Amino acid sequence: MKDNGGLPQVYRYVTQVHAKALTLTDKDIAAIQERALTQLDPESIWAREFYIANDQVDRHFEHFDRGHLQRFADTLVDKSLLIGHEYEGRMAEGLFYKARTGREQGVLWTLGTAYTIKTAANEHIRALVDGGVQRYGSIGFKPDWAAAFCDICGLPYYMPGKEGDWCEHFAGEAYDGEVCTVAWNWKKARPEQVEAYEYSLVYLGSQYGAGPKKGAEDDELAMLDAGIVPAAARKSALLPERKKVMLVKDKELTDIKGAVPVHRPKTADRELAWDGSKAVSDLKAFAGGPDKADVDWAKYRQGFAWFDGEAAEDFGSYKLPHHYVEDGALVTVWSGVTAAGAAVQGARGGVNIPEGDMEGVKRHLAAHYAQFEETAPWDQQGDAADAADDPPNPQTQDTDDALKAMFVQTATERDAAIAERDVALAGLEKSTEAVGDLIAQVEQKGRELADSEARIAEAVGDLIAQLEPTAALADSLLAERKAEVERKAKASGVDELIGDLGAVTDLERLHEVEKAVSAAFDEKFPPQGRAKIPGPGEDTKEVAADVVIGGPPR
């Protein structure tokens, strides 16, 4: 087993900075205010949404799946926006207060929204981002290195597998015309090992020059320690002798026999029906046929999972087709993949290919299952099969029984937990597929309506702000008028009307009560010669004798 101690704890993934200016909603301001220690003026807040990472093959020839992108979104909130991954000696430039995943133009993204407070010190940075000059960003995250797998051979890329197997390819290099890429597989990851640490604004050139310059031989290792070198350079720094071996082995891959190397054409509609005869006919035409003399056999074999290299120019040497041809290019057909997968497992009499080629065939088909976010049937059964194939080790027979039982129980519990997690993830992926489509539609509508909604929200907010003083004044006038009516009612001795005043909440009802009270008051205190109306706390009888000039009340 090779030393993997050089793998960095924090891995950096570079993307272009796509930042969206935001119209802050009340919900945004509330979320930001929760994180502040003092009351903030909304006008002092600068906030942008950043495209953090996506599911496409990147410039390091690696790509994330949906699970990793969702994990980044789940762990990015309350993490810092930095400059150049500077973890020491510099404060954060901003803070992420929300994050999500979303699909735009067929690409699945992790998106995070960060804010900062406008200051003279950060004005330059804000201007560069908004002006499109600051074009690159990089997420710093903690990976589970054991979850990275080669797309050609399907073996662990950075860390040895449980059987000690390890990919011998290098990302970005071509093997029989296929460029090696690396997939981060969430189903193989330990969730607690993966976490977004920060997101930094960087300039692309700095990625290769970071860290001290020790000399020509140490450059790659210095960049490796910084964790920001391309995958091919990173791996060659760890395993230089393995890279030399592969340069020799590449020459042996020009004329292969057996399993067709993994590739990933575009996928056809999942509901498209499979017709094997149509597929073979399409593939012959695609390769220049149908005449054998005109066929480009290297092109023809791309539509199959296996061929006999000793009879490579015979149509009968090609088995397990699973592609159609659309607009001059191969497309992967889901029902074709499942038909080939069923044949590999023995359906309809199985398929007659050498046992030694079966692993490569399954690896090829498993890559197509993954294109549709499914797991190949044989991979679902892998753990159980591995456990059944493990022979007893005679050297462990004398192990203490209690200790052995403890290890067995721990392994069983671990395998059961993994199985439950895989079942839950599979169910979640299927159930969220329709939701993902719906979310994409809603997001499209949201983008179409965003500007008008923002303007409507702003207008409504202004109107509410204008009406609030009017409403307060109306409440005050209503209260004063009720108090005046109550004083008249008390002076008139109309107790039953006083009781109704508490239920009065609108002017129309108040007018009815006021009319009745005024009639009673005029009857008791004629308008001629009236001095005043009894006020709060004054004795009604005593005041009544004083309020009428020219004699006592009637």
3-state secondary structure 27-90: HHHHHHHHHCCCCCCHHHEEEEEEEEEECCCCCCCEEECHHHHHHHHHHHCCCEEEECCCCCCC
Phi-psi region of 546 (alpha: psi -120 to 50; beta: other; left: phi over 0): alpha
Alpha helices in 268-400 (DSSP H): 276-286, 297-300, 334-344, 355-371, 377-380, 382-389
pLDDT in tens, 351-381: 888 888 888 898 889 889 989 989 888 887 5
Q: How far, in Å, CA of 146 to CA of 177, rounded?
A: 27
pLDDT at 112: 93
* Token pair for 417: 């937990």
Do 199 and 76 contact (CB within 8 A), yes or no?
A: yes
pLDDT in tens, 442-471: 888 777 777 777 778 888 888 788 777 777
pLDDT, mean of each 10-residue run, the chain (554 residues): 47 55 88 94 93 85 92 95 80 94 87 95 91 84 91 87 78 88 93 91 45 30 36 39 29 50 87 92 90 88 88 88 92 93 82 84 89 87 47 41 48 66 73 78 79 79 79 78 81 73 70 83 73 53 40 40
pLDDT in tens, 294-327: 888 888 988 999 988 788 888 988 999 999 999 9
Report the DSSP beta bridge partners of residue 15: 137
Residues in the chain, total: 554
pLDDT at 503: 67
The DSSP secondary structure of 182-223, one letter per residue, reads EEE-GGGS-GGG-EEEEEEEE-TTHHHH-S----GGGHHHHH
pLDDT at 531: 53
pLDDT at 121: 93
* Token pair for 492: 């008139």
Do 82 and 90 contact (CB within 8 A), yes or no?
A: yes
Do 194 and 148 contact (CB within 8 A), yes or no?
A: no
pLDDT at 9: 57
Do 168 and 104 contact (CB within 8 A), yes or no?
A: no
Instruction: Determine the residue type at 469.
Output: P
